[in-house]
Amino acid sequence: MRKGTIGIFDSGLGGLLIARSVIQKLPRYDYAYLGDTKRVPYGDRSEEEIYTFLREGVEFLFKQGCVLVIVACNTASANALRKIQRRYLPRYYPNRRVLGVIIPAAEYAVLQKRAKRVGIIATKATVASGAYRREIKKLAPRTRVFQLATPLLVPFIEANRLGEAQPILERAIRSLLRKRIDTLLLGCTHYPLLKRTIRDCCGKRINVIAQDEIIPRKLLTYLLRHPEIEKRIGTRGQRKFFVTDITENFSALASRWFGKSIVLKKTTIET
């Protein structure tokens, strides 16, 4: 039987960071990455649009042979993943799996000893969904959750204008520090690109949780718990990278993280 791949989907640069961390942790598997860079950011989109974009991305990766897809986009995980899992997969791809990043991050956050007052920065759509608050409260009802939308960060990160993002980031962190948070969860996969600045702003007393440090371990645990999925994934170490638009910043980061030999294939996923 022909082996499949692990798919990683995101709207842009953040998912590429997740892909790098996952591949470093689990290098033997075959991977296909898809960045919907043409339509980034998702944070200001409607729930209907986000679902459509995610469905198109997942379907594309399934057609590439993926048996398991990680939705590295928090906005898509918060607003469309449940519908994909409960309606789309049972009808069209009952033997495939799609996983998000919100539940793993929430689980990790509440396991921290000091996590009694958790701050979250994320896109407007993720904050509006209430997904992080809901998942954290399920696991730790007494934990206080303080969410803050930071919609300008993703466009600045995508445009490689990190210096302009810093004042916005500092204001957001100061606002959450006034809530006496003990933990800060980065609720967007783009934000770890600024995690050094974020940790400097927070100081040593605040535990900063970045998803690129969490998802690889969570994926390994999932594969160990689901050998019926793991045995269907190829182990030749192959990587394919697809994007819906090739930008200069994306190309530069991809070359820096994966080597100059990386090939970005431009594709269309809109139906």
Catalogue the active-site residues: 73, 188
Paired with 187 in beta bridges are none
The full 3-state SS of 70-132, as one line of letters, equals EECCHHHHHHCHHHHHHHHHHHHCCCCEEECCHHHHHHHHHHCCCCCEEEEEECHHHHHHCHH
What DSSP assignment string belongs to 23-53?
HHHSTTS-EEEEE-TTS---TTS-HHHHHHH
Question: How many Cα atoms within 13 Å fall on the side-chain side of residue 243?
Answer: 19
Collapsed DSSP state (helix, strand, coil) of residue 255: helix
Give the whole-angstrom CA distance, residue 227 versus residue 238. Answer: 20
Query: Which structure tokens are listed for 160?
Result: 């490689």
Instruction: Find out whether 5 and 234 touch, Cβ atoms under 8 Å.
Output: yes
Phi, psi of 243 (to 5 degrees): -140, 155
Determine the straight-line distance between the first and last CA of the chain, rounded to whole angstroms: 30
